Amino acid sequence: MTDIDEGNFDQSPHGDRPDDSPEPEAVWTFRGYRLRASEFTTAMAHFFRAEVSRANIWRSRLDATTNWAVVSTGAALTIAFTQSGFHGLIILNTLLITLFLYIEARRYRYYELWSYRVRLMETDFYAAMLVPPFQPSADWAESLAENLLQPHFPISMWEAVGRRLRRNYIWIYLILSIAWIARVGLFPNTASSWTALLNNAAIGDVPGLVVFSVGVVFVGLLILTAVLTAGLQQSTGEVLPRFAEGRVAVGTDESESQPGGLRAWYRLSRRRQQLMAMIITDRAQAVSDNILKELKRGVTAISGTGMYTGKSHSVLLCALTVTEVNHLKALVNSADPQAFVIVSPAQEILGRGFLPLTVTK
């Protein structure tokens, strides 16, 4: 990322650069077009507004689902407590609320996808411009580019269900539970004993004990889900810090513990895909210089001999990530169009620019 300073911005009203001023350093070039730092910042500002708008749209969809749940609950309770009402209507409404919870959790995953991009730009781009050394974090652009090229939900379905359950739906379920107990205790006759309460809870040929037991199991599962997912914070959302201690961020080791010692064993790894490139070339110096200068990746050279030709070649080894593959191919092609490139996935890469090389005690 190019440092942004006053020398990189046009000073004249029409955007013409004074003759004696240095030419702004380009962020990248394409078919003769040079993108300057000011143009890059403008593009990022428009992109930020677009992602905020998209996140707001999905946030409003979350509110709509919650409104459906509240309105349907109010209507169900109103009808159930009439003289001709039926307590089974509360049970049916509970199932409907569960469907709303699933829909809202699914929408929440989409919201977190857009919210992650917004939060990434806030913490690693805009916030970094306000404090020394006034430059974005080293891997923010790659994290954002990878999310654009290969979008994936930053939050699991279980965590989404747990969050929406704890924040909104647990109170709706509590009201429905209390209302159901009050309904079977008062209608059709006031229950003065446990047996009378179970008789009022019966639904057709289904005994009241079975209905009551299923309700207890259902409520227990809800409480268990809310408790077990309370410590999962794979996605930072809009109010949590991105690099808090113990939290898992994109590109980190999934084996790290979650807050409170809880580990999401069912999650797929979100570690950035790491690759190893082998470049067989007769122009090793030119290729390695391009990689070191443009890609900012280390290169290791070894010698090799063709099996049938007996000719010696240089083999360059370079560790990189998925978003750097196209850049690598362009750099190699510019230095040696006859080079042979092999890119394969790496199980784990430790060291500078990747995961820290630490010893687990």
Helices (H) and strands (E) in the chain, counts: 9, 6
Number of neighbours of residue 236 by Cβ within 10 angstroms = 23
Which band of pLDDT confidence, cut at 50, 70 and 90, is reported for residue 217? very high
- pLDDT at res. 92: 93
- pLDDT at res. 104: 94
C-beta of residue 158 within 8 angstroms of C-beta of residue 266: yes
- pLDDT at res. 296: 85
**Among 354, 332, 247, which Cα is nearest to 286's?**
332
Q: What is the DSSP letter of 357?
A: -
- pLDDT at res. 269: 43
- The answer to whether residue 268 scores a pLDDT higher than 90 is no
Read off the pLDDT of each residue in 271-289 and give the average, rounded to a whole number.
87
Lowest pLDDT segment from 75-79, 107-111, 121-125, 209-213: 121-125
Percent of the chain with pLDDT over 90: 31
Residue 8 Ramachandran class (φ > 0 left, ψ -120 to 50 alpha, else beta): alpha
Tell me the CA distances in angstroms from 120 to 21, 190, 193, 272, one per residue in order. 34, 58, 59, 15
- pLDDT at res. 9: 34
| Average pLDDT score over the chain | 78
Lowest pLDDT segment from 9-23, 108-122, 152-166: 9-23
**Among 293, 273, 261, 268, which Cα is nearest to 355's?**
273
Residue 313 Ramachandran class (φ > 0 left, ψ -120 to 50 alpha, else beta): beta
- The answer to whether residue 122 scores a pLDDT higher than 80 is yes
Read off the pLDDT of each residue in 313-338 and give the average, rounded to a whole number.
88
Q: What is the DSSP letter of 258?
A: P
- pLDDT at res. 241: 47
Which band of pLDDT confidence, cut at 50, 70 and 90, is reported for residue 97? very high
User: 278: which 2 tokens?
Assistant: 């082998």
C-beta of residue 158 within 8 angstroms of C-beta of residue 265: no
Read off the pLDDT of each residue in 294-321 and give the average, rounded to a whole number.
85
Stated pTM of the model = 0.62
**Among 160, 301, 280, which Cα is nearest to 229's?**
160
Q: Where are the chain's structural domains?
A: 40-228, 274-345
Taking only the tens place, the pLDDT of each residue in 172-210 is 999 999 999 999 988 888 888 888 888 888 898 899 999
Specify the fold of 274-345.
Alpha-Beta Plaits (3.30.70)
- Angle (CA) 172-178-179 rounded to 5° is 85
Q: DSSP 3-state assignment of 35?
A: strand
| Rg (the chain; Cα; Å) | 30
Most confident by average pLDDT, 43-57, 267-281, 339-353: 43-57
Hey, what's the torsion of the CAs at 197, 202, 206, 210, to 10 degrees? -30
Taking only the tens place, the pLDDT of each residue in 230-258 is 877 655 555 554 443 333 333 333 333 34
Read off the pLDDT of each residue in 204-229 and give the average, rounded to a whole number.
92
Stated as kind and residue range, the H or E segment containing 301 is: strand 300-305
